Amino acid sequence: MRAENSATATTSIAVTTPAVSAAPATPSTPTAQAAPARTTVRGTLQAALGVAAFSLTFPATAWGLEGFGPWSLVGVRSVLAALIAGGCLLALRVPLPARRHWAGLAVVAAGVVLGFPLFSTLALQTSTTAHAAVVVGLLPLTTALFSALRVGTRPSRTFWTAALVGAGAVVAFTVQQSGGALTTADLYLFVALLVCAAGYTEGGRLARVMPGWQVVGWALVLALPLTVPAAAVALSYEPVDLNWHGVAGLLWVAAGSQFLGLVVWYRGMAAIGIPKASQLQLAQPLLTLVWSVLLLGEHLTVAAPLTAAAVLVCIAVTQRARG
């Protein structure tokens, strides 16, 4: 029996050995390893495009306020963005989301479609874009905190250290730009920060189970029962001056900031994760200040390049940190 078992074992080895050696399908291994890398690069680029689009939001809002009242601007921009998104959803015959996703879409609508545009626009009535950029400077850290609570992500200590240093650098820079004075708009900015972080976190979570543009589209459509009557009432009470700046600002915040920018932003968050994507926004205040100089004629101090260098270092650290 031992001889037979031994022979059987030998035969088994002889049979399996060619199978192992005949599996030189190693070319698939580099491809499989390269796929996650390509996804990470693509997601980072998409998130960066979203940040670039968002960096124009405050200057475009300042332009929009030259032709519209704050409530009219928020209502009309949301309705226009919803018409663009709804048209895409209808043209592609996208089915309704599952019932379990509607609560998350409501959070996205409340935070990104309604809350942040409203409170930031109200703040920009009495605040400069440089001062309002404090919101964007704190947004990456706040989004990472919301993500840790909602999605269960646990970034490393290195990640949190770099995020705190980067946020601190941006806050110090923007406060210095505004002369260190706090305005009555700070309450609006703080509320805008919180609701936007909640909307980003929920949108990033939903973008893992449905395309990012559909997350944005359904959130905009979901808000229509509120935005349409709000826009109608606001337009009847607030004066409208159809000048070039006002119309251009309105079109950008509607199509660029509130739809196209959110589409690539949520796709990027789904690809590389909410905490890492949110840290790319550390560059957003500096981009906003550049646009403020070019578009609004605001003056920039020599502290800008130093802060830019510090922020870029922090972004590099957070992107490499495992979390």
**pLDDT average, residue stretch 234-253:** 94
Q: What local confidence, expressed as pLDDT, does residue 283 receive?
A: 81
Q: How far is the C-alpha of 148 from the C-alpha of 126, rounded, in Å?
A: 34
Encoded tokens for 16: 């399996």
pLDDT band at 17 (very low <50, low <70, confident <90, very high): very low
Q: How far is the C-alpha of 237 from the C-alpha of 253, rounded, in Å?
A: 22
Among 54-63, 149-158, 268-277, 294-303, which range has the highest average pLDDT? 54-63
The pLDDT of residue 235 is above 90: yes
Diameter over CA atoms, the chain: 100
Of 252, 190, 193, nearest in space to 53 by CA: 252
**pLDDT average, residue stretch 216-237:** 95
Identify the residue whose tokens are 């200057």.
59
Mean pLDDT of the chain: 82
**pLDDT average, residue stretch 54-69:** 94
Among 59-68, 164-173, 275-284, which range has the highest average pLDDT? 59-68
Q: What local confidence, expressed as pLDDT, does residue 224 receive?
A: 95
Q: How far is the C-alpha of 35 from the C-alpha of 41, rounded, in Å?
A: 10
**pLDDT average, residue stretch 65-86:** 95
Q: What local confidence, expressed as pLDDT, does residue 262 receive?
A: 84
Q: How far is CA 51 from CA 67, 230, 269, in A?
A: 26, 28, 12
Q: What local confidence, expressed as pLDDT, does residue 247 receive?
A: 95
Helix/strand/coil (H/E/C) assignment for every residue in 255-319? HHHHHHHHHHHHHHHHHHCHHHHHHHHHHHHHHHHHHHHHHHCCCCCCHHHHHHHHHHHHHHHHH
pLDDT band at 175 (very low <50, low <70, confident <90, very high): confident
Which tens digits make up the pLDDT trace of 177-213? 667 766 778 889 889 989 999 998 898 889 888 888 8
pLDDT band at 248 (very low <50, low <70, confident <90, very high): very high
The pLDDT of residue 21 is above 70: no
List, in order, residues 6 or more apart from 307 with CB less than 8 Å away: 169, 170, 172, 173, 286
Q: What local confidence, expressed as pLDDT, does residue 35 receive?
A: 65
152: left (phi over 0), alpha (psi -120 to 50) or beta: left
Of 43, 132, 120, nearest in space to 77 by CA: 120
What does DSSP assign to residue 69? -
Share of the chain above pLDDT 90, in %: 40
Sign of CA dihedral 189, 193, 194, 199: positive
Q: What local confidence, expressed as pLDDT, does residue 14 receive?
A: 43
Tell me how far the alpha carbon of residue 137 is from its chain's centroid: 13
Tally of CA atoms within 13 A in the half-sphere of 118 that contains its CB: 18
The pLDDT of residue 7 is above 50: no
Judge whether 200 and 38 are in contact, CB under 8 Å: no
Of 116, 114, 275, 115, nearest in space to 205 by CA: 275
122: left (phi over 0), alpha (psi -120 to 50) or beta: alpha
The pLDDT of residue 284 is above 60: yes
